[in-house]
């Protein structure tokens, strides 16, 4: 299984616009649930710390394989979300890694 984590800072002129854009990013990515083959889990979180170095939104998703993650990158629903969000995101950070299989009750 491959875990795909992406964090964004979101644009917005003023607190109200920023909060609306954060909510839009969250809703758009949540709309991908059940629409992409091999996407096993999708969670979207919004930062509550408000510290200056924090990102605004995090996406944590699990894919059945590297191939499923590669398919997600080009999937029409994912491309739709990217187009819908346009340049709302000012920064993007990503980490992809293999999640070890649990063996004999061990936790990864």
Count of domains forming the chain: 1
103 within some domain: no
Domain with 23, as residue range(s), is: 2-98
107 within some domain: no
31 within some domain: yes
83 within some domain: yes
CATH number, domain containing residue 44 = 3.30.70.100
H or E stretch covering 98: strand 89-98
5-55 pLDDT, tens per residue? Answer: 999 999 999 999 999 999 999 999 999 999 999 999 999 999 999 999 999
Q: Which two tokens stand for residue 86?
A: 């346009």
88 within some domain: yes
66 within some domain: yes
105 within some domain: no
104 within some domain: no
pTM of whole model > 0.85? yes
DSSP 42-94: EEEEE--S--TT--SEEEEEEESSHHHHHHHHH-HHHHHHHHHHTT-EEEEEE
47-81 pLDDT, tens per residue? Answer: 999 999 999 999 999 999 999 999 999 999 999 99
């Amino acid at each position: 299984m491959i875990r795909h984590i992406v964090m964004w800072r979101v644009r917005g002129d003023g607190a109200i616009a920023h909060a609306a854009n954060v909510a839009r990013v969250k809703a758009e990515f949540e709309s991908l649930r059940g629409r992409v083959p091999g996407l096993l889990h999708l969670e979207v979180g919004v930062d509550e710390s408000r510290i200056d170095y924090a990102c605004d939104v995090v996406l944590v998703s699990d894919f059945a394989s590297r191939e499923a993650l590669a398919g997600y990158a080009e999937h029409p629903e994912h491309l739709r979300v990217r187009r819908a969000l346009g340049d709302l995101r000012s920064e993007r950070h990503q980490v992809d890694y293999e999640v070890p299989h649990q063996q004999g009750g061990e936790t990864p």
